[in-house]
Amino acid sequence: MLHEFTFKSYNKIDDIQAWIYVPACEPKGIIQIIHGFGEHSRRYLYMITGLMDEGYIVTADDHVGHGKTAIINDRWGDWGDEGFHTMMEDEHALMQVVKEKYPNLPYMLFGHSMGSFIARDFMAKYGNELTAVTLCGTSGVWPDLEESINKLKQLVAEGKGKESDPAVASSLLGWMFARCDEEVTIGNEWICKDKFVQIDHAEDPFDAFTKPTTNQAFLYFCQMIECITGPEWASKVPTDIKIYNIAGDQDPVGQYGRGVYEVTNWLIDTGHDVKTQLYSGYRHEIHNYPDLKTEVMWNLAEFYNNVLGCGFESMMEDKYNS
């Protein structure tokens, strides 16, 4: 069963486009997928169907400035004017809609890349409403973050907040190609070594890859990272949430593993239960590599099932073994 609906964004302007995918069985719980920067939630259909096969209701939306939300509202790369918590508050609003329709079920998050930043912000404010969280492709201390924030604040103060300065994106993201050993021709090679995944991402009409992002939105992006960095953030997260922190060890967003373990250590040092897993030789989108995505899916389902004390269903096992 599929529910498709809209709700008003925290930015008071956009209508968020959202979906609830319901399996034809007694559900074990609810998993909310939070997509990353410049993409959209339908890029997670493999994961969505796998989790449904395992007995979970799955829900997702397209963020402000992204995907179908950007298309419907005709606002690409603009997050509104209500600050860097906008996407996090939208994810909580989605949660409330889903819980009203399907009450009394364990509620869990999966956040990838910027989606993991949003999930971390969510955990600090609304963590008491969660059972478990998966952070995928998350980041530790972001390089030159304070300098980027100061530059972006200056651009906004100069009245250039709704403009898009190409130098901003280059400064914030350009260093991610450092370990790409192939010729950089598309501009997204750091997400995945597989050329077909790169092309699919670049040519997807719902992707914001080729769309400019406003200077103000980039400021919010940086402020979001600042808010979730360090042990002070981790101390705000309830210690009863089970956390699964996963990434490729060649993922520049996770600083090639170092940043992933920084996040884990902030959480462990503040009393949290964290399982960390790095996939050797893989870049940012571990869940999209053709030779890895089934294993990632299997391990993800295993984590949620173990949290809830559930076993695997045969359909999931058959998928992994085929």
Give the pLDDT of residue 172.
Answer: 84
* 162 domain-assigned: no
Q: Are 187 and 202 in contact (CB under 8 A)?
A: yes
Q: How many domains does the chain have?
A: 1
Element (H, E) at 307: helix 293-308
* 211 domain-assigned: no
* 9 domain-assigned: yes
Query: What would the pLDDT profile of 227-245 be if each residue is shown by its tens digit?
Result: 999 999 999 999 999 999 9
CATH number at residue 76: 3.40.50.1820
* 173 domain-assigned: no
* 171 domain-assigned: no
Sign, CA torsion 204/206/208/211? positive
Write the burial class of residue 291 (CB in 10 Å: 0-12 exposed, 13-18 middle, 19+ buried): exposed
* 199 domain-assigned: no
State pTM to two decimals.
Answer: 0.95
* 200 domain-assigned: no
* 265 domain-assigned: yes
Q: DSSP code of 133? A: E
HSE-CB of 54 using CA atoms within 13 angstroms: 29
Query: What would the pLDDT profile of 43-75 be if each residue is shown by its tens digit?
Result: 999 999 999 999 999 999 999 999 999 999 999
HSE-CB of 290 using CA atoms within 13 angstroms: 7
Which residue range forms the structural domain that includes residue 282? 2-141+229-321
What is the full per-residue pLDDT of the chain (322 aa) written as tens digits?
A: 999 999 999 999 999 999 999 999 999 999 999 999 999 999 999 999 999 999 999 999 999 999 999 999 999 999 999 999 999 999 999 999 999 999 999 999 999 999 999 999 999 999 999 999 999 999 999 999 999 999 999 999 999 999 998 888 888 888 899 999 999 999 999 999 999 999 999 999 999 877 899 999 999 999 999 999 999 999 999 999 999 999 999 999 999 999 999 999 999 999 999 999 999 999 999 999 999 999 999 999 999 999 999 865 544 454 445 4
